[in-house]
Amino acid sequence: MMNGFLTLAFRLGIAGLLFVITGCQNPIFQDFTRERIPENPSNIYTFEFAARLGQTNAIAGTERAQIVINGKTFDMQPSPRGERIFTFDYAMPPGVTEARYYFILTYDEVSNNIRRTRTRFSTHEHGGVYVARLINRFTIQLLAERGPVGSTIGLVGSGFSAGDVVVVNGREAATTFHSPISLEFTVPSLPAGRAYEVALRTGSGDIPAGMFRIDEGSLSILPGRVRLSSGGRDQMSFQIPGVAPAGGLVIDVTTDVPASIIMPEVIIPSGFGSVVIDIEGGQPGTGTLFIEAPGFRRQEIPIEVR
């Protein structure tokens, strides 16, 4: 059957135009069908394309279009959306979630005072067909469009599962599943002052969910001034408005008097909102602790070791 198809293609003189490959658009066929289509109760889905014939000798009004879906051929109808746009409503068979399809366009043209019929195909044996897949879930909206690192943000939609993960700027965020229509995520540690793409990562791919802007947050640090004796001990606490994202929140603490204070690395564990660390006075000196974390305002804490 395929050999007969190729023989017909060459006999019609269209071999040079049959060069669609997977992921590429044929210059004659502009496909308007979505690659991922949310399921609907009617289980009927619209396939549509525009014929881009350009500067040809095609006779307007003679165009006829067909679509081949999963091996079956159907006539398409002119769309009210515009000239040379064709549409077809396809009733997806029960249990089928993928449509592999291509278009056939037939029209009359005049060349050297000779009228003839031309046939164009949107694909061929060595190329690929278009593929549309049904999805039984889709995100509706973010319940907030901005907030600081560590904020808990809700997402509502349909068909959520416990395996879904929210991704912010390509980074997986700590995600809590509540129900098939609701989940929430913790804003990850990213620089403030920018908007980032948010998506729902599922077993069948990522579904866009919108943009989220990270605003500058503020760390609460106690004490606001460190006074120690040489060899003396005390504690410092670091708290954020929400909870630390997946992987924890690393707080970078540096000082201009490193010999005067001894302290461990500061990390607020994932899912916690604060951490308390032990500090110890070193050599006598006066200086400053410089405290920074992604998405938070830089702070300076005076220190004095006697």
Say how many Å lie between the first and final Cα of the chain, rounded: 92
Q: Closest Cα to residue 51, out of 10, 103, 13?
A: 103
Q: Are 245 and 187 in contact (CB under 8 A)?
A: yes
Whole-number percent of the chain with pLDDT over 70: 88
For domain 220-305, give its CATH number from 2.60.40.10, 3.90.1520.10, 2.60.40.1730, 3.60.9.10.
2.60.40.10
Average pLDDT, the chain: 85
> pLDDT digit string (tens) for 36-85?
888 887 889 999 999 887 666 778 788 899 999 999 999 999 988 888 89
For the range 24-29, what are the long-range contacts, defined as Cβ-Cβ under 8 Å and sequence gap of 24 or more? 26/122, 26/123, 27/52, 28/52, 28/53, 28/105, 28/120, 28/122, 29/103, 29/105, 29/120, 29/122
Across 14-164, the runs of DSSP E, i.e. the strands, are: 29-31, 36-38, 44-51, 64-69, 72-75, 77-78, 85-91, 98-111, 114-121, 130-135, 138-142, 146-147, 152-158
Count CB neighbours of 76 within 10 A: 20
Q: Which two tokens stand for residue 146?
A: 């901005």
Residues of the chain with pLDDT under 70: 1-27, 54-56, 124-127, 137-139, 204
Q: Are 65 and 73 in contact (CB under 8 A)?
A: no
Residue that has been written with the tokens 């938070």 in this structure: 296
Superfamily name and number for 138-214: Immunoglobulins (2.60.40.10)
The Cα–Cα gap between 254 and 288 comes to 8
Q: What residue ranges do the domains of the chain occupy?
A: 2-135, 138-214, 220-305
- The CATH topology of domain 2-135 is Immunoglobulin-like (2.60.40)
Q: In degrees, to the nearest 5, what angle opens at C-alpha 158 toward C-alphas 153 and 163?
A: 70
Asked, colleague to colleague, whether 2-135 and 138-214 share their fold, the answer is: yes
Secondary structure of residue 4 in the 3-state scheme: helix
> pLDDT digit string (tens) for 112-144?
888 889 888 987 544 578 999 888 766 678 999
